Chain A
Amino acid sequence: MFEAASLLFIYVETPLHAGSGRSLGAVDLPIQRERTTDYPIIQASSIKGRLRDECKNKSGLSNEEHLAIFGPETGNASDHAGALSVGDARILLFPVRSLAGVFAWTTSINALARFLRDASAVGVKLNLELPEEPNPDSALVAGDELKAGDRIVLEEFSFEPVNNGTVNEIGKWLESNALPEGNEYKYWRESLPKKLCILPEDAFRDFVKYATEVQTHIKLDDNTKTVAKNALWTSESLPTDSLLYAPLMATKSRRESIGLSGKDVLQKLAELKITRTRLGGDETTGQGVVALRFYQPSGGDQK
């Protein structure tokens, strides 16, 4: 069984295309989504594979330890399982264009409740009370940063701002625990409580469905320098400044030569100080840069 667990926060720095293949919807190449909510996700295998790659040949992790944590190479897959288990990344904050304050980090009671549940499942206890669901045409905020006159205007939809103390508490918690720790993030950390906005859950769902980045691609015909026949398609990405989280769980090492406890595994991972990596497609055109933060529960109420 799992001996230790933690959270990995994933902050999107350039549009992230964790694709799900072709679709028959509005966009030709859509991103991965949950079936029941239509919330964007990043599949666990994609994150685990990336971590595996990122940790290889890093000083501070021997090859044997690497195999113990991530599992053996494909040829020896049946020897033993890896000690690390990664979950799907789920959306927590979704940035939406705002008339005041440039953009708002939106979330909803539904998304926050899921976060609290997932956090509690990995032993992260947050002393946060969720506020009541806002009215269909209002949004919960802390302060005046997002107010344009007496409304909040996101994309082309307007909401009535309702000040709520809990928003500030949630913002402060995320500021200290979820956003990347580097000095270059100082501005973003300080902005978070001010730009945080809890939307009605249906409105949030619609934004994560319809307010993603849509890029149009074409292929040029060499002779005419115009679009080649049928070579026009659209591709969807998670926008810059989205915040996702994925659960990390670890068992003790199953590799005979290596004795690591679950706690050691997570400790080792965090100590490698991997602050940035790439996820999803179109890496060679600058997509999918993410900043990582390994959350370390204080007090260690591990199961």
Chain B
Amino acid sequence: MSRQRSLEQERAKGAWSKVKEVAKDRDIAEEYAQLAKSAPADIQSNGLGQTLAFWRAKKGGHHKKLGEHVSEWVMNQMNQPGKDLLDWIVNEATTNDYRRATAEAIAFLNWVKRFATAELGGE
């Protein structure tokens, strides 16, 4: 039996654990779900850098949390663990890296969006 798992499975697993973690924090759970719901389309419309910067400017607990989750996941996928995604985009990433990071962020957030809707209320 092969232990090879698809990238989508890994994304789902990562998203699932983050959503479970947020579920314990009732103060931000519902707002986190709302934000996650629009996040993939926001990135597609406005770009990854702009969206991350916007979340950072908003200073809500749920903005901060979702930003951290995306950052951690994408940086691990780009083999840059421990770095901050926005910081890396601004200072280091090439155009190619940035495009890959965008695709990865949207793919990951699609899972977060589904699980958050299911687990944290909201629709």
Q: Do A and B truly interact?
A: yes
- Identify the closest chain B residue to A27 (Cβ): B41
Select one of A27, A229, A230 contacting B44, CB under 8 A: A27
- Identify the closest chain B residue to A235 (Cβ): B41
Interface centre among A156, A202, A216, A230 (most CB of B within 10 A): A156
Consensus secondary structure, chain B interface: helix
B95 and A158: CB pair below 8 A?
Answer: yes
A-side interface size class: 20 to 34
B41 and A230: CB pair below 8 A?
Answer: no
The answer to the question of B77 belonging to the interface, with a C-beta cut-off of 8 Å to chain A, is no
Select one of A137, A210, A230 contacting B95, CB under 8 A: A137
What is the distance, in angstroms, from A96's C-beta to the closest C-beta of chain B? Answer: 13
A155 and B40: CB pair below 8 A?
Answer: no
What is the distance, in angstroms, from B11's C-beta to the closest C-beta of chain A? Answer: 13
What is the distance, in angstroms, from B19's C-beta to the closest C-beta of chain A? Answer: 16
The answer to the question of B81 belonging to the interface, with a C-beta cut-off of 8 Å to chain A, is no
Known: A137-B94, A157-B95, A158-B95. A206 touches B103 (CB 8 A): yes
What is the distance, in angstroms, from A160's C-beta to the closest C-beta of chain B? Answer: 10
A26 and B41: CB pair below 8 A?
Answer: yes
The distance in angstroms between the C-alpha atoms of A209 and B44, with both chains bound, is 9
The distance in angstroms between the C-alpha atoms of A219 and B99, with both chains bound, is 33
Name A's B-contacting residues (CB within 8 A): 24-27, 136-137, 155-159, 202-203, 206, 209-210, 212, 214, 216, 229-230, 234
Name B's A-contacting residues (CB within 8 A): 40-41, 43-45, 47, 49-50, 94-96, 98-99, 102-103, 106, 109-110, 114, 123
Sample of 5 more A-B contacts, CB < 8 Å, known A137-B94, A157-B99: A26-B109, A26-B110, A206-B102, A230-B123, A234-B41
